[in-house]
Amino acid sequence: MEFNTKLLHGNAVKRYPEGATLPPISQVSAFSYETAEDLEKVFNNKAPGFAYTRISNPAVDAFERRVCELEGGIGAVACASGMSAVTLALLNILSEGDEIIAGSGLFGGTIDLFEDLQEFGITTRFAKHITVEEIEPLISEKTKVVFGEVIGNPGLDIIDLKAVSEFVHSKGIPLIVDSTTATPYLVRPFDYGADVVVHSSSKYINGGGNSISGIIIDSGKFSWDYSRYKGLAKYKKYGEFAYLAKLRNGVWRNMGSCLAPMNAFLNIVGMETLGLRMDRICHNAYELASAVDGLNGVSANYPSLKGNPYEKLVQSQLNGLGGGILTIRAGSKERAYQLMNALNYALNATNIGDARTLVIHPASTIYIHNTEEQMRNAGVFEDTIRVSVGIEDVSDLIEDFTSAITALK
Ligand SMILES: *Cc1c(COP(=O)(O)O)cnc(C)c1O
Which percentage of the chain shows pLDDT scores above 70? Answer: 100
Rounded average pLDDT over 34-40? 96
Residue 238 pLDDT more than 90? Answer: yes
**How many Å lie between the centroid of ligand 1 and the Cα of residue 107?**
7
Residue 278 pLDDT level (bands cut at 50, 70, 90): very high
Instruction: State the distance from the centre of ligand 1 to the C-alpha of 29, rounded, in angstroms.
Output: 26
> Which pLDDT belongs to residue 370?
84
Topology of domain 275-406, CATH: Aspartate Aminotransferase, domain 1 (3.90.1150)
CA distance 70 to 204: 14
Q: Rounded distance, CA 397 to CA 287, Å?
A: 9
d(CA 248, CA 251): 7
Backbone φ and ψ for 384, nearest 5 degrees, come out as -85, 135
**Nearest one of 344, 358, 336 to 401, comparing CA atoms:** 344
Whether the pLDDT of residue 374 is over 90: the answer is no
pLDDT for residue 60: 98
Q: Can you give the pLDDT at residue 14?
A: 82
Q: Is 165 in the pocket of ligand 1 (CB under 6 A)?
A: no
Q: State the pLDDT at residue 49.
A: 95
Q: What is the residue with the minimal CA distance to atom 5 of ligand 1?
A: 82
Q: Does the beta carbon of 352 sit less than 6 angstroms from any atom of ligand 1?
A: yes
- Between 246 and 108, name the one with better pLDDT: 246
Report whether 396 contacts 343 (CB < 8 A). Answer: no
Count of CA atoms in the C-beta half-sphere (13 A) of 252: 30
Q: What is the pLDDT of residue 336?
A: 98
| CA distance linking residue 256 with residue 251, whole number of Å | 8
CA of 212 to the centre of ligand 1 (A): 9
* Ligand 1 atom closest to Cα of residue 153: 13
Task: Please choose from 86, 156, 200, 213 the residue to mutate so as to test ligand 1's pocket, defined by most ligand atoms within 8 A of CB.
Answer: 200
CB 316 within 8 A of CB 304: no
Q: What is the mean pLDDT of residues 78-105?
A: 97
45 versus 380: which is more confidently predicted?
Answer: 380
Percentage of the chain modeled with pLDDT above 90: 93
Q: How far is CA 258 from the centre of its chain?
A: 17
Ligand 1 centroid to Cα of residue 226, in Å, is 30
Fold adopted by 3-270: Aspartate Aminotransferase; domain 2 (3.40.640)
- State how far the Cα of 176 lies from the Cα of 112, in Å rounded to an integer: 18
Asked whether 182 lines ligand 1 (CB < 6 A), one says no
- Residues 361-366: what's their mean pLDDT? 94
Residue 368 has pLDDT above 90, yes or no: no
Whether residue 64 has pLDDT greater than 90 = yes
Average pLDDT over residues 217-243: 97
Query: pTM for the full model?
Result: 0.97
Give the DSSP per-residue string, 296-332.
Answer: GG-EEE-TTSTT-TTHHHHHHHSTT---SEEEEE-SS
Ligand 1 centre from 78 Cα, in Å? 14
State how far the Cα of 8 lies from the Cα of 143, in Å rounded to an integer.
41
- Chain-wide mean pLDDT for the chain? 96
- Residue 205, pLDDT score: 98
pLDDT at position 39 is: 95
pLDDT digits (tens, 9 = 90+) for 147-184: 999 999 999 999 999 999 999 999 999 999 999 999 99
Q: How confident is the model at residue 73 (pLDDT cuts 50, 70, 90)?
A: very high
What ranges in 140-241 are assigned the alpha helix state H?
161-170, 183-186, 230-233
CA 379 / ligand 1 centre spacing (Å): 17
pLDDT in the model for residue 404? 98
Per-residue pLDDT at 35: 97
Q: What is the DSSP letter of 195?
A: S
What band does 32 get if pLDDT is binned at 50, 70 and 90? very high
Tell me what pLDDT residue 242 has: 98
Q: Where are the beta strands (DSSP E) in 40-186?
A: 75-79, 99-103, 123-127, 143-149, 175-178
**314-331 residue pLDDT tens:** 999 999 999 999 999 999
Query: Which backbone phi and psi does 318 adopt, to 5 degrees?
Result: -115, 25
Judge contact between 167 and 143, C-beta under 8 A: no
Q: Find out whether the beta carbon of 112 lies less than 6 Å from any atom of ligand 1.
A: no
pLDDT band at 378 (very low <50, low <70, confident <90, very high): confident
**Lowest-pLDDT range, 104-113, 224-233, 241-250, 291-300?**
104-113
Say if ligand 1 is within 6 A of residue 202 CB: yes
* Residue 223 pLDDT class (50, 70, 90 cuts): very high
Q: What is the pLDDT of residue 45?
A: 86
Torsion, Cα 115 120 122 123, to 10 degrees, reads 40
180 lines ligand 1 (CB under 6 A): yes
Position in ligand 1 atom list of the atom nearest CA 86 = 10
The structural domains of the chain, with segments of one domain joined by +, span: 3-270, 275-406
Report, as an integer, the average pLDDT of 283-304: 98
